[in-house]
Each structure stands twice: as C-alpha cells, then as structure tokens.
C-alpha cells in the first residue's frame, strides 16, 4: 500500500491520562488516536468531519521524567459551569523528552495540510512545540504476526497485552467537547514491543523496529 510518512519531532510531550483529575499526573507513553487527529486538524486549520480516516503512527521518546507545575483549580457548580473560585496548587506532572512521531496517512488532502500547517503544531500540551522533519512517500507492506510498539491498538477483538486504557478516537466540535468513540486500547510503549497474531504494515523506510497498525474509522 502506498502511503506518506510525516516525521514530527518535539523536545517535550505529555499526554493526559484519562480519569485522573487531581494529584500526580502521569503521562501516557503513546498519544491516543484523538491527539493525532487533533494534530491533523491543527495542520489543516479546520475540523475534519464526515469522512473516512485511515491513519497509523509510531511514537518514540528517550526518557520519561517529572515536572513541577502550578495549576489553577476552578470549581464547577451544580450546572457544571465554573464558579469564580480559583485555587492555586503545585502538582507533579510526568512528561516525555526527545520525542518523535511517525505518522502514516494515505489521504492526499491531509498530507497537503502538513506541507503548510495552518496553526502551530504541538505534541501534547501547549508548551510542547513540534516541528516537521520530513514528509516522504513510503510503501507499507502487509505482514502477518505483526510486532507492535509505540502505538495504541484497539483492545476489543485484538486482545493484545500492554496497558489497557479507555481512550477516545476523536473529540466533538462543541462546547463542552465530547469524547467520540471511546473504547479500550492497548497502549504499547516503544520500549515494550508486543508480538501479535494480527496483520500489520511494515514500512520500507524504517527508522524503528515495529510494524504499523492502521486505524480506520469514520468521523
């Protein structure tokens, strides 16, 4: 299969752990599909709707460490609107250092967006500025018994090992944002590869040792 590989790098990254609101903030070791979709939207400058998306990615980092951060906690009232009560608090937040995202896309419109991104690209939070290193044509070859690392794979039907988290595929375009298509995923870090019985894709232009799982869904 023909595809394009977009290589993006950032100094730091941090991906929110679902379900944890206060206290220590760990980071996922792989961005969820929704984060990558957000990156695509930032590059194109618009919210993609009603289309079929095929994407695969591999994310690696050098080290995971902890930052101290001041947060301002705002209380919500019974209608879920914020009250004007602000409390500063110091928390520990994990982040990843020296990060790379290899994004595989087949849709030409989406690739065009990365040649001239509309907004600044971020790998994680607003401090995690990222840059595009290269965009290249690659051939994805189908392989059986794929070996996965540095990505998330839907748990249902695949039942891979690894940390299991309920992650969204996408977010709605409304206030407040709603999770769209949340389902359990196996989060497979680049440091813990998993041998699977699944079909994956092996890119010919390899800078890492993993096959790629292609996510297909409609938004």
Partner 1 sequence: MKNIKTQGFVLIDVDVVALNNAGKNTQSNNDNAIATKSIRKNGRNYVYVSGQAWRYWWREALQKNAKWKLSPIVRDGKIAYTHANPLEFPDDDVFGYMRAAKDAELDENGEPKKDKKGNVKMTNVTVTRVSPLKNSAIISATSVAPAQNWSSMARQEGDAVPYEKQEYSAIMKGMFSLDLSMVGTFSNYDRTGYKNLSVLLQEEALKSGAKEIDDPFVVDAKGKPKKLIRLSKDMRIQRAGDTIQALKVINGGAMQTNNMGDVTPKFIILATTTTGNHPFSHVVSNRGQRDEEMVFNIDGLIEVLKDYRDTFEGTVFIGRRSGFMDEIAGQLKNLETMTDIPKVKVLPVNEAIDQYCEQMKSQID
Contact residues toward partner 1 (CB under 8 A) are 9-12, 42-43, 45-47, 62-63, 65-70, 74, 77, 79, 81-86, 97-98, 116-122, 126-133, 173-177
Choose between 97 and 191: whose C-beta lies nearer to partner 1.
97
- Cβ within 8 Å of residue 169, ≥6 positions away: 33, 34, 37, 180, 181, 182, 183, 215, 217, 219
What DSSP designation does 24 have? -
Q: Give the shortest CB-141-to-partner 1 separation in angstroms.
A: 28
The β-bridge partners of 57 are 103
Q: Give the shortest CB-48-to-partner 1 separation in angstroms.
A: 12
Structure tokens at 29: 């070791």
Q: Give the shortest CB-182-to-partner 1 separation in angstroms.
A: 17
Q: Give the shortest CB-166-to-partner 1 separation in angstroms.
A: 20
Choose between 98 and 207: whose C-beta lies nearer to partner 1.
98
* CB-count burial class (<10 Å; 0-12, 13-18, 19+) for 2: exposed
Q: Give the shortest CB-172-to-partner 1 separation in angstroms.
A: 9
Nearest Cα neighbor of 171 from 16, 38, 27, 19 is 38
Q: Give the shortest CB-157-to-partner 1 separation in angstroms.
A: 31
Choose between 19 and 81: whose C-beta lies nearer to partner 1.
81
Choose between 19 and 77: whose C-beta lies nearer to partner 1.
77
**Count of beta carbons in the 10 Å neighbourhood of residue 64:** 16
Choose between 119 and 191: whose C-beta lies nearer to partner 1.
119
Give me the residue label for tokens 């595809």: 3
First to last CA, the chain: 22
* CB-count burial class (<10 Å; 0-12, 13-18, 19+) for 19: exposed
Choose between 97 and 159: whose C-beta lies nearer to partner 1.
97
């Amino acid at each position: 299969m023909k595809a394009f590989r977009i290589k993006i790098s950032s100094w730091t990254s941090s991906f929110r752990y679902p379900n944890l609101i206060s206290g220590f903030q760990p980071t996922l070791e792989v961005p969820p599909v929704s984060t990558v979709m957000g990156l695509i939207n930032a590059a194109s400058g618009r919210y993609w709707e009603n289309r079929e998306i095929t994407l695969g990615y591999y994310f690696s980092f050098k080290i995971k460490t902890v930052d101290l951060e001041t947060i301002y906690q705002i209380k919500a009232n019974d209608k879920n609107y914020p009250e004007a009560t602000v409390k500063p608090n110091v928390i520990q937040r994990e982040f990843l250092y020296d990060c790379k995202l290899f994004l595989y896309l087949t849709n030409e419109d989406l690739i065009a967006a990365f040649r001239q991104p509309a907004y600044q690209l971020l790998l994680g939070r607003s401090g995690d500025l990222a840059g595009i290193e290269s965009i290249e044509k690659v051939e994805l070859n189908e392989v059986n018994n794929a070996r996965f690392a540095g990505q998330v794979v839907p748990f249902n039907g695949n039942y891979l090992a690894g940390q299991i988290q309920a992650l969204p595929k996408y977010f709605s375009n409304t206030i407040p944002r709603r999770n769209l298509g949340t389902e359990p995923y196996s989060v497979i870090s680049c440091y813990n590869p998993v041998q699977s019985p699944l079909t994956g894709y092996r890119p010919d232009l390899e800078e890492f040792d993993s096959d790629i799982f292609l996510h297909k869904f409609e938004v």
